Amino acid sequence: MNLTITVPTEQAIPIAVYLFTMMVLGILGNGTVLYSSIRYNALKFDKVSVALVRNLAIADLCSSCANFIPFVTFAARKWVFGRWLCNSPVRSISIKLCISVNVMIVILIAVHRLRCVLHPFHSPSTKAANIIIGLIWSVAVIGWGIYDISTYSASEELLFVPEIGYCIKKKLHAIVFVVQVFNAMVTLLILVLNLALLVVALRFSRRRGGDNRHSHHKAVLTISLVSGIFIISYCIPCIVISAVPSTLLPMSLMWSVNTVANPIVYTLTNKRFGRYVRSLLRGVFCIGGEEAIEGRI
């Protein structure tokens, strides 16, 4: 099996730099979201939204770490991790797990916000939300785990995709591709429909009046940006790849954008989190430490 990528060196090095940058930014950004929301309660959302955002950050953090393998592959211009890692159920499960959980959490965030707008005086149960989140992770881990372990074979024929430096089981390649495209199309329809309903619901809430209109508008702006970025960086690339296979490399590079963009969205749309990030940056370059950060939030 030829394990050398087909991308020319003058293109492979910039791609490796891009993947490394996205990996570092994704780890720092999503790590900041998790630490700040736990240590300082820096996310000004309701408790259910905070739980969803934290789990989305965990999935994005794992996806960012997964960029290490294609980064090394493009930097070396060949697969250097051996047959075991290419065929490893652990690696296969972790990649599909991150994608599956990411998709479901984004949908849950959008649906939860719509529910808050439609029923502003009904507080959702945090316990029920945590149970649903736990079920999502459990089903993803168990489902993909059972499938990958049951189909594992040390002598199985492997497929190396030279355009993107990706190694996968040959018989699993088509299945994963079909599942990805199906997920992208279904997610796209759900998010677009949900955003349309949110706009309609906000108009009705504006007519009714109420004290929560401003907070609803800011929350809807946040989820609109998160959903829009997810559609642009994941849903559309998956559909484009299925229609035009020659776009595999540029479209697959778009997937990393989603893991980096969410912390930036929170910084711009959530004042409390934005203050924490600015205080954190001052703490990194100036004197003050955590006491200064706590005083500014």
Residues in the chain: 297
Chain mean pLDDT for the chain: 79
Across 31-40, 52-61, 70-79, 140-149, least confident range:
140-149
Q: Are 34 and 41 spatial neighbours (Cβ–Cβ below 8 Å)?
A: no
Phi and psi at 88, nearest 5°, equal -70, 125
Q: What digits encode the pLDDT tens for the residues 259-287?
A: 899 999 998 888 888 888 888 777 665 54
**Nearest CA to 20 among 256, 190, 229?**
256
pLDDT digits (tens, 9 = 90+) for 205-231: 665 555 555 566 777 788 888 888 988
Helix pair angle (68-76, 9-39), 10° resolution? 160
Question: Which residues on adjacent β-strands are paired with residue 107?
Answer: none
The position carrying tokens 């190396």 is 160
Per DSSP, 80 falls in state -
In this structure, the strands spanning 166-169 and 158-161 are antiparallel
Give the integer Cα–Cα distance in Å for 283 and 275. Answer: 12
Judged against a pLDDT cut of 80, whether residue 142 lies above it is answered with yes
What confidence score (pLDDT) does residue 152 get? Answer: 58
